[in-house]
Each structure stands twice: as structure tokens, then as C-alpha cells.
Structure 1
Amino acid sequence: MALFTPAFPRVEPLWRWIVPALTSAAFITLGAKLQIPFWPVPMTLHTLAVFFVSALLGPRLGLGAMATYLGAGAMGLPVFSGTPERGIGLAYMIGPTGGYLLGFLLASGLIGWLAMGRGWVGRVLAMLVGLAVVYAAGVAWLAAYVPAHNLLAAGVTPFLLGDLVKVALAATLVSGVARLKAGLK
């Protein structure tokens, strides 16, 4: 009899996707809004939040969280760093930082995939690959706004040290959460 029983894939309830995506998008928003004095420029915790969420949730949920965040921003919610002062919605997204936002979207799925089942070093390497994607998309987009000879000075160099610190911190936080989850089992 079992031979003729159709096998349907188990469908997860919608809330199992919506709740993590919304809470993670809120966390990414918080990271974008928190500014810390740093040298050579003040930094936000945006990269930390995106990379943490991506490595913690995996490729599908990490990408879903980032897409939710970008969707909220596209609808005009002031979720991005410097909003609403520097504009909101699609006008902000097509501005000079639009490539970095696109890079975050691309990197979120990639980091989630590369970091799966990895230890601290593997997570750091996954996040460094993601950071390279963010910088590549960001600089390519920024080229429409900044002369080529100033691209690295405007879009990479001032942020590199802070982003490397955030990568190490994000990998450490994900490792801590993984250890905590393993201890609860």
C-alpha cells in the first residue's frame, strides 16, 4: 500500500520564514543606525549585523533577511545608515552607496552557504569572501559618482580596518551562539 501513497514534501509554516526575516531585518537596521567613533572614519555596525545574520541563519534565511531589509528601505522606511537625513527609498538606494547594498544582498547568501558547518576560521574566511563581494559591487557602483583614481580612497580604504574587526567579531558571535545551542541540546 505504501507504494501507492504519494510523498509530499513537508511544508514549513510561513511564520518560520517571516519571523526570522523580520527580526533579522530589524537587527540589520539597528546595525546600520549605530555609529561608533573609529579611525579614519566613524563606522556603523551594518556590516557586522549583515554578516552575523547571514552566517547564523544560513543562505536562504540570511538572503531572506537581507531582502526584507532592502524591501523595507525601498518602500521608504528609514532603515539605512544616514536616513532620513540623506534621503529614503529608492532615491537613497540608487545613490553612491547603492552598490554596497547590492553587495550585501549578494554576500548574504554566499556567506550563509560558505559558513555552514564551519568553525571560527571557516566563518571568517566565508565573511572575507563576502566582504570582497560587497567591496567589488560597491566600488563598481561608486565609479558612477567618483573618479576612478579616487575609488579606493573613497570606497574601501577608510572602511577596511573597521570591517575586518567586524568580521572577526561577527564570526566570534556566531561561534558563541553555536556553542550555546550545542550546550542546550
Structure 2
Amino acid sequence: MSARLDSQLTGEEESALEQHLAGCARCRTEWAWLQHADALFAGPPLATPSPLLAQNVMARVQRHATRMTMLRGGMILFLGIVIILGMVIIPMVALSGPMDTVASSPATVSALVGVIVRIAGILATLAQAAYLVLRAVVASPGIAALVVYALAAAALVLWWVRIVAGPGSLTMR
């Protein structure tokens, strides 16, 4: 029946279908439904979009991308200013009171110098320990394999990010 609606039946097949429909009430009902459904699609042609639709959509996408780039840049600038101000102003305000107290008392200055010397000694010991660990790792025979593995992993991660994000997404705009 659908082949008949699509005009794909030969003369023999069409006459056989007509004979069958004449004798089968169930198929006649189905044929009526199929004709009705086909008539719904045979109405007026679909409206075609404006020739400027693609141009307008792409212009809007470009405007949105420009706005997002400006917003992202503004947010980065704002956060940078907040971080820098936080790193400069907060310590200045927080240390202004204690600095006045420390500067006016020689005993406090002496104790503070002692604490700073002890902290420097601890940091020097930690730096020596880190140097020894680093030397032991570098001197081990498996370091070359570890470096090759780390470089391969980094290359694969960058390759994956490029595939996921799309070409040109890792370049600065």
C-alpha cells in the first residue's frame, strides 16, 4: 500500500492490490488511513527560511562570542586586581599594629630575630633534604623511563584537550 502511495507499483501489482482491497474490509480501512496520512503531507509546501538567516545567525553568534571574550577578560582583570590588592593591602593592615609594637620593644625585636633565625635553619635543613631526594631520584636508573613516560602522558593530555576543545582552541586570542 505504501508503494502505491509512492507510485512505485507496476500495472499488475496495482490491479492485484485493487482486487484485494475490494474483498478485504480490514485492508480497506487501513488503506483509508494511509491515504488520509498521505494527504496531510501533500499540503502546501514548507516555508523556506530567509536567505539572510544564516548570515544573521552567524552575526549573532559572533556578537555573543565577542561579549563572552570581553566578559572573560573583565573577570580576569577584576580577579587579578582583587588578588593583588589582597596580597598587598591585607598584610599591610594586618601587620601595621604588630610592627609598631615590635619596633618599640627591643626584647621583642631580639626574640623575633631568634625566631627568624630558627625558621631559616629549618628551611635550610628542608632544602638540603629535598636536594638529597632529588639527587637520589635523578641518579636512579629508572629516571629516563619516568621522564619519557611523563612527557608521553603530557603530550597525550594536550592531544586529547585539542581534540575535545577543537582546533585553534589552545591559541591565545
TM bin, normalised by shorter chain, reads: under 0.3
Structure 2 length normalisation: TM-score?
Answer: 0.20
Greater helix share, 1 or 2? 2
The one of the two structures with greater contact order (alpha-carbon pairs below 8 A, sep at least 6) is 1
